[in-house]
Amino acid sequence: MGELIRIDGLQKSFGDFQALGATDLSIAEGEFVCLIGASGCGKSTLLRIIAGFETASAGTVVVDGRHVTGPGPERGMVFQDYGLFPWLSVRGNIAFGPTARGLPKTRIAETTDRFIDMIGLGRFADSYPHQLSGGMKQRVAIARVLANDARVVLMDEPFGALDAMTRERLQDELLELWTRTRLTVIFVTHAIEEAILLADRVVAMAPQPGRIVSDTRIMLDRPRDVSSIAFNELRRRLSARLHG
């Protein structure tokens, strides 16, 4: 796998507050990387700069050889609060990106139907967000990003507002989707267990200023057993680094 994302000397300040200190990170195409750390450590700031929603105070982000200067369809963002358009149906939300890009109607319909089927919401294709559960809304949010031909999926605590059972189900579904598509995923979470369960690499960050303190490759085979000795040893090590 070749390098897809390169971050060099990235910094971000809001007035006198330095949210992100000098940060370097390289991510290969198809990698699943989790960012973990306490509130205020710069995880979401880093994600938003990669997405193009925030501008850096210093340093660069390069995706597929191009400097990030703003949002782009190759980088899709999934938020904790879903970010769906309430006036559009499931079908309309997923079709939004392809429609905005001016694709032919037949291709829009084919793409939309494919992703509706992929997330298992065929019965709810004409339902609106207020008619869906939290888990369904998050499936639609993920499908909307994928339907826009994103190569990089940026996820800011996407399962944080869900109950434990729904969260576990969506973690499994996300891994299945990633296995099929091999998209590059950068996933922000507070939960060490979630990070180890999902990621190829876990990048731990600390605050004041936000910075990377460790980058751990997870060598456990998938599917991962959260009760195994190896899993819990990794959890202890990462917890020690975060709280050290």
Query: Bigger pLDDT: 119 or 45?
Result: 45
Query: Is the pLDDT assigned to residue 244 strictly greater than 80?
Result: no
Q: What is the pLDDT of residue 13?
A: 94
- 148: confidence class by pLDDT, cuts 50, 70, 90: confident
H or E element, residue 114: helix 105-118
Reported as a single tens digit per residue, the pLDDT across 2-23 is: 899 999 999 999 989 999 999 9
How far is the C-alpha of 219 from the C-alpha of 174, rounded, in Å?
Answer: 19
CATH architecture of 3-74+152-243: 3-Layer(aba) Sandwich (3.40)
Q: Determine which of 16-20, 70-74, 77-81 has the lowest per-residue pLDDT on average.
A: 77-81
Residue 75's nearest CA partner among 140, 148, 169 is: 148
Q: What is the pLDDT of residue 181?
A: 85
How many residues would you count in the chain? 244
Residue 21's nearest CA partner among 204, 227, 208, 148 is: 208
Residue 120's nearest CA partner among 146, 99, 140, 141 is: 140
- Rounded to the nearest integer, the mean pLDDT of the chain is 91
According to DSSP, the β-strands at 152-156 and 184-189 are: parallel
- 1: confidence class by pLDDT, cuts 50, 70, 90: low
84 Cβ neighbours under 8 A, 6+ residues apart = 93, 129, 137, 140, 141, 144
* Domain-wise residue ranges, the chain: 3-74+152-243, 85-150
Query: Is the pLDDT assigned to residue 157 strictly greater than 70?
Result: yes
Phi first, then psi: what are they for 102, rounded to 5°?
Answer: 75, 25
**Mean pLDDT along residues 159-173:** 86
Query: Is the pLDDT assigned to residue 177 strictly greater than 90?
Result: no
H or E element, residue 62: strand 58-63
pTM: 0.92
**Mean pLDDT along residues 80-87:** 87
Whether 40 contacts 46, CB under 8 Å: no
Query: Is the pLDDT assigned to residue 146 strictly greater than 90?
Result: no
Query: Is the pLDDT assigned to residue 185 strictly greater than 70?
Result: yes
Query: Is the pLDDT assigned to residue 70 strictly greater than 90?
Result: yes
Three-state DSSP class for 43? helix
Terminal-residue alpha carbon distance, the chain? 33
Reported as a single tens digit per residue, the pLDDT across 186-239 is: 999 989 999 999 999 999 999 989 999 999 999 999 999 999 999 999 999 999
Which residue reads 């309430």 in tokens? 86
Three-state DSSP class for 67? strand
Q: What is the pLDDT of residue 112?
A: 93
